[in-house]
Amino acid sequence: MSDRTRENLMAHGPGTPETRLATDPAAAELGESPSPEQVVETVRTHPESSLAWALLAERALAEGSDSADVQAYAYARTGYHRGLDALRRSGWRGAGPVPWEHEANRGFLRALWALSVAAGRFGETAEEERCAQFLRDSSATAYEVLARQG
């Protein structure tokens, strides 16, 4: 196993810059409390939006059925990967904080949390724990806020 394989990519020390995503183009369209139809239309218009995918995932998780949990997992994974793409475009290199306090980061962080929750619901424990740890490493505040919300 190489040293690179063992390296904690989220480890960051003093001087590691925070990553702040650009404003999500879907955020203005979604507003505070979008209808399910608005969220679906926003995903169709802005498939790159982590926030829109996270909202779909959260709604599916709230439904609570086995089928909805699988849908939530797929939505959250899509939002997570769209967020990773955006983070990389913003200079993130696999390490450093992604602060919850910067509102544009919240779509990615919410998708990551939803992915952890959905994975846990059907027994994918390693994925659940990996995503929860990634969230804590990215933003302890996000983890605290999202864990309180359920």
Local confidence pLDDT in tens for the 150 residues of the chain: 334 333 344 445 556 789 999 999 899 999 888 999 999 999 999 999 999 999 999 999 999 999 999 999 999 999 999 999 999 999 998 989 999 999 999 999 999 999 999 999 999 999 999 999 999 999 999 999 999 997
Q: What angle do CA 42, 46, 52 make, to 5 degrees?
A: 55
CA distance 150 to 148: 5
- Please check whether residue 50 is in contact with residue 88, taking contact to mean a CB–CB distance below 8 angstroms: no
